């Protein structure tokens, strides 16, 4: 039995997005089916797509694959030209091989989408302008490197955040069973919480992040970082081969948690969660509160948390995209939660660089906004 097959064993007590009936979706070949209305949700490469328009999200992933492939191809053209002019620089040959290897991997992910959806359908969805807005794969993939390379610097920061969440749950909650991690991305924080809590539910809106995570669960993945434009001191840090692995050296605690079926990782929309009301003990929001419109997201947070349930936030308030009306200060966020039926139990900052695993000379120190709110 593959480790991937252990995922989503506790993805129960859901709610159908079509009929809104609290149900446990029944597995069938290639899909999940609502027993109340027979509405189906596709399972893509073993990843449940609990969405109103799953085809559009698959097409968006295909588009993001292509965008990064194209970006890599432009770099390849530049590096090949430089290598012709400076053939003595072996470093340029390493960069060429790195970009080529990354594109082979990205094309494999893209081909999986094509097999499931078909190029004609993908093109139709693009022409109809139905592709949802998502953050770029080029932005997201760096967190897979940080989360699964087990570098000492990255591990210290991951532990700091995960332990902060565990500590506040211990301080403010008596019994926590189901923990939701929205915007789970590369999956590391969800995996960390799965080692502590019996059922950790994690989701992302971007299919490509789930693809990479599921690949890492299945087997080690080799990807390269190329830092030609970065402020790098050591030549060995310009082209870096990373082995993304579920297991730390000599430590299989995450693998053990997954084997016990403690983690579910699926695709859904934070603004339309597939859960009935009062279903969750806690929501641990890491690097996500500034990604989606908070006022709408808060409706789903309040609806799905049990009375007394905790909402824990750790992350910057960078607001790199979206409507200016949704760009709230920390104090405005706290007031919004208070006025929406929550008590603020703690607030402060958690400081890190976010990407300590990077070898570049410069880094940004982030004083992440942290608070804990309890639903009344």
- For residue range 168-217, what is the model confidence (pLDDT) as tens digits? 999 999 889 899 999 999 999 999 999 999 999 999 999 999 999 999 99
pLDDT of residue 358: 63
Give the whole-angstrom CA distance, residue 374 versus residue 186.
27
The CA–CA distances, whole Å, from 341 to 176, 198, 310 equal 20, 27, 12
At the topology level, CATH places domain 150-375 in Rossmann fold (3.40.50)
Give the whole-angstrom CA distance, residue 182 versus residue 336.
19
Assign 201 to helix, strand or coil: strand
In 10 A of CB 353, how many CB atoms?
15
Q: Which residues of the chain have pLDDT under 50?
A: none
Torsions phi, psi of 371, nearest 5? -155, 160
119-127 and 90-117 are packed helices; what angle lies between their axes, rounded to 10 degrees?
90
pLDDT of residue 357: 55
Token pair for residue 231? 């402020």
Closest by CA to 150, choosing from 261, 78, 249, is: 249
pLDDT of residue 95: 97
Helix (H) or strand (E) holding 206, with range, is none
Token pair for residue 360? 């570049």
Give the whole-angstrom CA distance, residue 313 versus residue 182.
11
Closest by CA to 210, choosing from 156, 259, 143, 129, is: 143
């Amino acid at each position: 039995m593959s480790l991937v097959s252990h995922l989503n064993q506790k993805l129960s007590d859901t709610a159908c997005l079509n009929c809104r009936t609290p149900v446990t979706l029944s597995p069938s070949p290639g899909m999940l089916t609502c027993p109340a209305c027979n509405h189906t949700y596709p399972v893509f490469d073993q990843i449940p797509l609990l969405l109103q328009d799953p085809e559009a999200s698959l097409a968006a992933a295909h588009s993001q694959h292509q965008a990064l492939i194209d970006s890599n191809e432009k770099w390849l053209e530049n590096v090949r030209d430089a290598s012709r002019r400076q053939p003595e620089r072996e470093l340029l040959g390493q960069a060429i091989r790195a970009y080529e290897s990354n594109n082979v991997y990205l094309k494999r992910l893209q081909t999986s989408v094509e097999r499931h959806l078909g190029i004609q359908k993908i093109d139709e969805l693009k022409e109809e302008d139905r592709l949802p807005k998502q953050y770029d794969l080029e932005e997201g993939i760096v967190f897979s490197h940080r989360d699964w390379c087990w570098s000492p610097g990255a591990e210290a920061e991951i532990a700091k955040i995960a332990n902060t969440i565990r500590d506040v749950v211990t301080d403010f909650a008596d019994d926590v069973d189901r923990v939701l991690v929205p915007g789970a991305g590369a999956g590391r924080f969800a995996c960390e919480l799965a080692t502590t809590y019996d059922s950790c539910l994690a989701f992302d809106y971007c299919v490509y992040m789930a693809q990479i995570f599921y690949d890492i669960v299945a087997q080690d993945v080799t990807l390269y970082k190329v830092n030609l434009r970065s402020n790098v001191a050591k030549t060995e840090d310009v082209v870096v081969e990373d082995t993304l692995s579920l297991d730390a050296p000599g430590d299989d605690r995450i693998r053990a948690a997954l084997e016990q079926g403690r983690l579910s990782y699926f695709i859904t929309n934070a603004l339309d969660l597939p859960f009935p009301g009062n279903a969750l003990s806690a929501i641990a929001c890491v690097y996500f509160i500034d990604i989606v419109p908070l006022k709408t997201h808060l409706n789903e947070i309040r609806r799905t948390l049990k009375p007394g349930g905790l909402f824990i936030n750790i992350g910057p308030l960078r607001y790199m995209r979206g409507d200016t009306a949704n760009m709230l200060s920390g104090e405005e966020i706290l007031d919004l939660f208070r006025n929406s039926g929550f008590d603020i139990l703690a607030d402060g900052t958690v400081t890190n660089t976010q990407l300590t695993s990077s070898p570049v000379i410069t880094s940004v120190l982030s004083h992440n906004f942290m608070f804990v709110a309890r639903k009344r």
